[in-house]
Structures are given as C-alpha cells and as structure tokens.
Amino acid sequence: MSNNREPESESEIRERMTRHWLEAEQAVRAYIAGAVRSFVDREDLLQQVALTIARRFDEFDEQRPFLAWALWLAKSRVIDFYRSQNRQQQFRSDFLLDKYADTLVQRQEVISRRREALEHCLEKLPDRSRALIRFKYQDGLRIEQIAETIRSTSASVRVALYWRRTVAGTRCSSIVERCAPGNSVWLDRIARRDIHAA
C-alpha cells in the first residue's frame, strides 16, 4: 500500500509529539504519583518520561493510543527508579503497575469522549451565553471583570451566569451522559456552583 503523503518536517513531528504529550501529561503525572511517594522524585521521573518520549517518538505507532505508550515508558522509568534506589522490596508489582496504567487509559478515553460531548453542547448555546461561560470558566475572569468586559453590572452577570449554568448544566449533563456514559458529578457541580464564590 503506497502512501502519497509527503514526509513530515521535523517541526510537524515535534508539533504532533507536543500535542500528544500535552493530552497525556496529567495522566502520566498521576501514574507516577501513584507509584512514587517523593514529590521531587516524581517530578524527576516525569521529566525523564518526557525526554524518553522525545527521543523515542519515532517508535510510536500512530495506530495505537499515545497514552498507553507513554504509560509503558513511565512504567519502565518507575522500575528503573526503584532499581537504582536498591529498594526492590518497595517496588510495586508489574501486575499492579499494568492494571493502574490500563485504568488510566480507560479513564482518559471516557474523559475525552465526555469533553467532546460537552464542547458540542456548548457550541449550541447562544453566543452571549457561550461568551459568559468562556469568560468565567475558561479565562478565569472574576464577575467584576466580566461585567466590565461586557459593559454590564456585576449583579446582572451573576444572574446571567446562574441561569446559563443551570440551563446549560441540565441540558449538557443529559447530552454528555448519552454520548459518554459515566460519572457526571463534575458537570452537575458546575451547574450548581455558588456564583458568589467567584
């Protein structure tokens, strides 16, 4: 089977690797945190994994999940860490590390599907509603900053956000649950969050 695509440039490969890493970094960090107690050691291991991924990215098979590959590399770094510390007795079994990695991969897949469903739902909101939610939850603006940005009062912004969160939370919660079943508690929390805590 011939591939008519031109080979990727080095910058395109680096960009693709960076995109994959940014999507997987939190799960890799969680994996290492579950295996190593010391914060300093965890941060060192995370950097080692990132460097290993950069060096070995040409070995990555795009047909397989990047997170699974990154966790496999992380597992190798964790094993090397315990061996270098001569703490074999504290080392978690291969079986447990594998199960932990599998769980993280499955969880990440569910989170990705839920995020896509949520984004799809938010796209259906009117522009003003989407802007208010973006200002508050994506940009992290305070109520007063949002009011200044849209030339309104803080009280009006609080009320508008309350109604948009309530309506969007209820609508999106059912859509997200249909598209990607799982625990929607986090979405319910956004819908019910106390707007005065902002």
Nearest-angstrom CA–CA distance, 64 and 27: 17
List phi, psi (to 5°) of 33.
Answer: -65, -30
**Nearest by Cα to 104 from 34, 160, 165:** 34
Question: Is it the case that residue 186 has pLDDT exceeding 60?
Answer: no
- Could you tell me how far CA 106 lies from the centroid of its own chain? 13
pLDDT of residue 116: 73
Task: Give the model's pLDDT for residue 60.
Answer: 93
Which segment of 1-5, 49-53, 168-172 scores lowest on mean pLDDT? 1-5
Average pLDDT value for residue range 87-98: 60
Domains of the chain: 10-112 (1.10.1740), 124-197 (no CATH)
**Higher confidence at residue 48 or residue 163?**
48
Average pLDDT in the 22-44 region? 89
136, pLDDT greater than 50: yes
Residue 45: pLDDT above 80?
A: yes
Whether 141 has a pLDDT exceeding 70, the answer reads yes
Supply the pLDDT for residue 69: 94
